[in-house]
Amino acid sequence: MNLFGKIILLLSVFFSTVLSAPIKPIPQSMNVDQEKTALGQKLFFDPQLSADGTISCASCHDLENGGDDGRKFSIGVNGKEGNINAPTVYNAVFNFRQFWDGRAEDLKAQVFGPIENPVEMNMTMAQTVEKLKQNTMYLSDFAAVYADGITEENVADAIAEYEKTLITPNAPFDRYLKGEKNAIGSEAEEGYGLFKSKGCIVCHNGVNVGGNFYNKFGIFKDANSSALGRYNITKQEEDKFVFKVPSLRNVALTAPYMHDGRADTLKEAVEIMSEHQLGRYMSEEEIEKIVAFLKSLTGELPQSVKKNRL
């Protein structure tokens, strides 16, 4: 598809979203299996899932601080550095695919990625299963939940079930959408208007304010990205520099931004998006108002995380 065709497609998406509810509030809870969730929570925080016993899922997804690790690139086993910015795990259940390149179709499929990545946890799932089978606690816990005990599928299933609970409802903007008009200030409200009128809403809409389709990074200006995105999966030339659109939920807590961590602040991120994705200029005042709106997307921590603080 050429550039003109892509612009037409984006415009059609834009008008279809603005004529309906472009952003929807996060639900208050998710339907989950509580026993699987409890088991998945143990696994999520357990560094035994890594080859050197130092890295857990929580190492790169700090639930106290936005659900990511605050780094440009994450640090894995033996101090190895990755090559792509870790996305937040919060509200990942609402993404249509997982990972920047969308290679995992859901949370369960996603679990295999970091465990088996040589620069993250550096274990095969088969090795993980054998390691867990040496732990009497896990033998008992898995037997209580799964008829076939500890298997690769069950490890992934339990972690994914826990991750489904990692949602952040009741953001000021969600309360605003539900009719609490004083939940956000006038600057954030004007920022939301600009977010729509400038075209940001084309890619960042829905429950997760993003995370629901792919787009090229650098539509109007070459973004000079070394990461190839979807091309690594499809090997199709048109998929070079195409990434899953990230969620903007809790974005004020998840700096640095972009797949390569190139933006240190929200202001800088908005400027980059304006130039590369929208092809338009925004004034300092407009950017400040959009940033105020983005800050209103910070929701409440899940109950399980709040309890850990006590």
Angle at 98 between CA 97 and CA 101, to 5 degrees: 90
For every residue of 189-238, DSSP letters joined together read: HHHHHHHHHTTGGGTS-BTTTS-SSEEES-SSS----S--BTHHHH--GG
List the catalytic residue out of 120, 163, 190, 286.
120
Can you tell me the distance from the alpha carbon of 170 to that of 178, in angstroms, rounded to the nearest whole number? 10
Secondary structure (3-state) at 61: coil
Q: 170-193: buried (b, 16+ CB within 10 Å) or exposed (e) per residue? A: ebbbbbbbeeeeebbeebbbbbbe
CA distance 109 to 174: 29
Q: Please tell me the total number of residues recorded for the chain in this structure.
A: 310
Instruction: Report residue 46 as tokens.
Output: 């357990």
Residue with tokens 């409802």: 169
User: Can you tell me the distance from the alpha carbon of 107 to that of 89, in angstroms, rounded to the nearest whole number?
Assistant: 10
- Residue 180 annotated among the catalytic residues of the structure: no
First to last CA, the chain: 53
Give the list of residues 6+ apart from residue 298 with CB closer than 8 angstroms, or none. 168, 171, 172, 250, 252, 253
Contact (CB, 8 A) for 163 and 107: yes
Q: Does the bond joining 256 to the residue before it have cis omega, within 30 degrees of 0? A: yes
Q: Catalytic site residues?
A: 120
